Amino acid sequence: MDHPAIERTRRTGYPYSERRQMFVTDGLGNDVHSGDEILEFDGEFYLVDELSVDAREILEKHGADYVTAK
């Protein structure tokens, strides 16, 4: 079992920063932080980094918009 900071860095690729606070959880249960790129579709949003290329293409074809989380 690793220290929580190490696990977070492995999971997100970034060390914790006060400037990068949690925004909310997306439609698939992923933590979305300010500055992350998300896809908004039909009242839901999804963290782009966690979507497969196929999922991104499907959402784009159905009218999803790329937005930066604030």
Residue 17's pLDDT is what?
Answer: 61
* pLDDT of residue 61 exceeding 90: yes
pTM: 0.68
Residue 15's pLDDT is what?
Answer: 61
Domain boundaries, the chain: 17-68
Q: Contact, 7 vs 21, CB < 8 A?
A: no
Please state, in angstroms and rounded to a whole number, the distance separating the CA atoms of residues 26 and 45.
6
Residue 30's pLDDT is what?
Answer: 92
- pLDDT tens digits for 11-30? 766 666 655 566 789 999 99
* pLDDT of residue 70 exceeding 90: no
Q: What angle do CA 23, 26, 31 make, to 5 degrees?
A: 50
Query: What dihedral angle (degrees, nearest 10) is formed by the CA atoms of 54, 16, 66, 61?
Result: 10
Residue 24's pLDDT is what?
Answer: 87
Query: What dihedral angle (degrees, nearest 10) is formed by the CA atoms of 12, 14, 16, 21?
Result: -70
